[in-house]
A and B are shown apart, each in its own frame.
Chain A
């Protein structure tokens, strides 16, 4: 058994939140640079150049890349040999988030769903925990902007719709979103599981490095084909038309019921901010 004080987790999360808010992931920036190089549409290229410039300015000025510093999504894979001591896990995570959003001058965007009253400190965070083997904690922090989150969809397909139904759902989601989610987008897809696990898989898929494919060949083929069709939609950067509507499609899968084929499509804008650490 390995004892870990949750104050260590709090500090880790504090650092991760501060870093994430001001930086696009290297793989996302690479994909944006590539999109800019190949873009044939003038307005879309202007927008891509502005966004790449913005990413550099954010880093040098230590300013949030995007003012929507997001709903704080924290994914924890906790080794079963870990014994957590100190303040309760959720309290520690929220304390790290709260301090970082204050110290980083990040926007506080969390509110009551009915009264719309802002909680004022960007907590509570969305915390997912999974128990894994070993004695470590894998921490992933994804600040999730809602211009793109709002465009996400969940489909309960019929098994007969198969692979074509899955690809169709992904492409339809991007088409319906149009210019609204700040394209070029990154798409996270959950295939299978139940209504809830499917959506979680889609979110998890967004934390994968851009440019990587699922290890399962038939799933990777869905990713490639969906990306190809999306980039044929001619929505383009900011909806100004052009060659790149999505930078990536990442799918994760789980076993499902004989009667169903759930597909969740989680939309992320071009501003992928994601930090990973091991404790």
Chain B
């Protein structure tokens, strides 16, 4: 299993091939349906996003609440297809990688190619394991959305598979 440390450089991304299993360490940001809608609205209104999008890694996930003295509750990936109408715009702004589960549409795959970005599939349903790989969690935007807010997660040895590489290769 290849070990990856975030942020990824374009050279790192160019070495990844669909089907390869990886273990990710670094900072990732959660965002799902409602958060994406708000991000896109901000862009349409030409307002700044609440975090730096360039080279960021967005994780399609909504965690369970953390128990006292733990960094996070269970936190596996959610279905990426629901975010595919938002993904190309964010990739064109420099989003470096996406983590989610399941297939995404052709436009997203083109945007990954165009921007030398990568899509990792986390294992859907492995919420407890992913929760334990999170070392710290902090809500950084849209806290009224509860589990759908944007959380900044520090993850260690987060297992995933390269689902779409930057050459158009696909595991699906």
Task: Please list the residues of chain A having a beta carbon within 8 angstroms of any beta carbon in chain B.
Answer: 43, 46-47, 50-51, 53-54, 57-58, 61, 63-69, 105-109, 116, 118, 120, 147, 150, 178-182, 238-240, 269-271
Contact = CB atoms under 8 A, between A and B. Distances in A.
B125 A271 contact: yes
B115 interface: no
A107 B102 contact: no
Given A109-B62, A240-B161, 10 more contacts: A54-B128, A58-B127, A63-B74, A65-B128, A67-B73, A68-B62, A68-B127, A105-B65, A147-B78, A238-B101
Interface of B: 19, 21, 33-34, 61-67, 73-76, 78-79, 81, 101-103, 121, 123-132, 145-148, 159, 161, 171-172
Nearest to B131: A63
Contacts of B62: 67-68, 107, 109
B63 A43 contact: no
B127 A65 contact: yes
A249 B136 CA distance: 40
Contacts of A147: 78-79, 101, 124
A106 B63 CA distance: 9
Given A178-B102, A239-B103, A270 B172 contact: no
B125 A46 contact: no
A178 B34 CA distance: 24
Contacts of A270: 125
A153 to B, nearest CB: 16
Contacts of A105: 64-67, 73
Contacts of A179: 101-103, 172
A277 B97 CA distance: 45
A116 B33 CA distance: 10
Interface of A is mostly: loop
A137 B53 CA distance: 54
A53 B161 CA distance: 17
A67 B130 CA distance: 10
A261 B129 CA distance: 43
Nearest to A56: B128
Contacts of B102: 178-182, 238-239
A46 B146 CA distance: 32
A67 B103 contact: no
Nearest to B65: A105
Nearest to A102: B65
B126 A50 contact: yes
B26 to A, nearest CB: 20
The 6 closest A-B pairs by CB, nearest first: A182-B124, A58-B128, A54-B126, A179-B102, A180-B102, A67-B127
A217 B156 CA distance: 51
A51 B18 CA distance: 21
A185 B164 CA distance: 23
B146 A118 contact: yes
A67 B129 contact: no
A120 B143 CA distance: 13
A180 B103 contact: yes
B132 A57 contact: yes
Nearest to A178: B103
B73 A63 contact: yes
Contact of A64 (B19, B21, B73, B148): B73
B64 A46 contact: no
B149 to A, nearest CB: 10
Contacts of A271: 125
B171 A64 contact: no
Contacts of A69: 64
13 contacts: A43-B171, A47-B123, A50-B126, A53-B129, A61-B132, A63-B73, A105-B67, A107-B147, A180-B101, A238-B101, A238-B123, A239-B172, A269-B125
Given A43-B161, A50-B126, A105-B67, A66 B76 contact: yes
